[in-house]
Structure 1
Amino acid sequence: MKFILEVTMDDAALAKDPAGELGRILRYWGGNLRHYALRPGDGSVIYDSEYREVGRWSVAGQAV
């Protein structure tokens, strides 16, 4: 399996404070990790602190 987290960093809040905003996204996502099955095909949209869509995460491949 492969976990993919993709964030566009050239827009709005991420352009102003990339390290701070990416850290916030990772903390938020990590805090909610237990709510996901993390099986192939799972995924969701990622939002910045202003609730704009800036990317997505997904799980690809076959479960072992």
Structure 2
Amino acid sequence: MRFVLDVHVPDDAPAEEAVKELSRALRYWAGNLHHYPLTPGSGEAVYDSGYREIGRWTLTASPDPEAAG
């Protein structure tokens, strides 16, 4: 299975603020993963400290490495 975290960071966000928000999102969702089944299709929206949706995490099936070749 593959864990995918896709988070939008505005281009004009100060670097310090971007790091702060990304760190918060990673801590929050890492701490809450035990609430979700670790199966392909699981996922949830990711929110910033202002409770605005900034992305999503999902679990997907791992691609077949032999199919890519």
TM-score class normalised by the smaller sequence:
0.7 to 0.9
Larger radius of gyration: 2
Task: Give % identity.
Answer: 52
| Runs ≥4 residues deviating over 2 A | none
| Count of aligned residue pairs for this structure pair | 60
Q: 2 CA distance for matches of 1:30 and 1:11? A: 25
Q: 1 CA distance for matches of 2:28 and 2:11? A: 19
Structure 1, unaligned runs of 5 or more: none
Q: CA RMSD in A?
A: 1.7
Cα drift, residue 21 of structure 1: 0.8
Structure 2, unaligned runs of 5 or more: 63-69
Q: 1 CA distance for matches of 2:47 and 2:10? A: 14
